[in-house]
Amino acid sequence: MQALMKTAAAPGLVLQEVAEPEFGSHDVLIRIHNAAICGTDLHIYKWDAMAQSYCHPPLIIGHEFFGEIVAIGDAVQGFHLGQRVSGEAHIGCGYCRNCRSGRSHLCRVNDALGATRHGCFAEYLALPAGNVCALPDAISNETGAILDPLGNATHTALQFNLVGEDVLITGAGPVGLMAAAIARHVGARYVVISDISPYRLALAREMGHATLALDLRTANLPDAMKQLGMREGFDVGLEMSGSADAINQMIAHMNHAGRIALLGFLPVTTQIDWSRVIFKGLQLQGIYGRQMFETWYKMVSMLQSGLNVSKVITHQFHFTEFEKAFALGISGQSGKILLRWQ
């Protein structure tokens, strides 16, 4: 089969012919239809320090996919050939304290598709059946390929109750944009999203879920709050930018007793004004991956009940055009980019 691989500890990727994956008695074999490019894939492509810390070539990369089941291991029950599926990219060990307590997204030895084991940028993927998620017909083949990042958005946005709350989302990348859609779907009052990328703010406005999309180079949060008639501050913050400046602006404009969910990777040099966190009684919660499998249940249900994030997919390429797709991803002038594998 054709697969997109990291073949050496250096920048770039290679499309090459490899053997179809072997699958065990507890696995299913999935024919990939669409796969989506994630920030993680861009890190691996560029071969930056973060990617070097966990990725050991040779490796088929990619972890966001939609496909159909074409073979089923002997011990697997509950799936059928031709079934439309996506799947969870994090594979827990099954034996540690968190795995055994239903928190396998916090497994200490998590295996990850396309990062520590072969991923989905290929014609076929073998995946443990426990990680496979069958999709209802209401979810399109395209949206089916972005459930991994939609799951990040869902896990973060549903960390705190948003009903009737004023929500600040810092970072209008694909996950921030989808978090805005979820906040709107579940009944937030105001949803303010901020970024410094004109492309992404334009996409936020086009998607139409945010009350305001703020360019922090020319606008500021006090003016936005005044415009909305907000007197006290934001109730919930969703930090999705990984920007030290953004998290400090967020902390400064939270209401007392505000709650912040942190998804973006902040640089280790980030300085936080801790006195504000303490005096305001803020709650800060780190978010990793997707809850297995409560997040999957919730996002599928929300997609069936009117949540629509399809506009976050802005580009599609055939997998042979991967160089073009990755260059576009690195440019930042896109939402989600799909690779077609059929």
- Binding positions for Zn ion, 107-126, rule CB under 5 A: 107
Q: Indicate the residue among 50 and 96 with the shorter CB distance to Zn ion.
A: 96
Which of these segments, 97-105, 156-164, 289-297, 328-336, binds Zn ion (CB under 5 A)?
Answer: 97-105
96: contact with Zn ion by CB under 5 A:
yes
x/- map, 143-182, Zn ion, by CB under 5 A = -----x----------------------------------
x/- map, 225-264, Zn ion, by CB under 5 A = ----------------------------------------
Catalytic pick from 7, 26, 33, 40? 40
Tell the smallest beta-carbon distance from residue 148 to Zn ion (Å).
Answer: 5
Catalytic pick from 33, 43, 63, 105? 43
- Binding positions for Zn ion, 37-76, rule CB under 5 A: 38
Tell the smallest beta-carbon distance from residue 184 to Zn ion (Å).
Answer: 22
Question: Is position 43 annotated as part of the catalytic site?
Answer: yes
Which of these segments, 89-97, 128-136, 268-276, 315-323, binds Zn ion (CB under 5 A)?
Answer: 89-97
Q: How many residues bind Zn ion (CB under 5 A)?
A: 7
Q: Indicate the residue among 100 and 226 with the shorter CB distance to Zn ion.
A: 100
Tell the smallest beta-carbon distance from residue 340 to Zn ion (Å).
Answer: 18
Question: Is position 40 annotated as part of the catalytic site?
Answer: yes
Which of these segments, 116-124, 141-149, 261-269, 320-328, binds Zn ion (CB under 5 A)?
Answer: 141-149
Closest CA to 310 of 335, 276, 339: 335
Catalog residues that contact Zn ion under the rule CB under 5 A: 38, 92-93, 96, 99, 107, 148
Residues with catalytic function: 40, 43
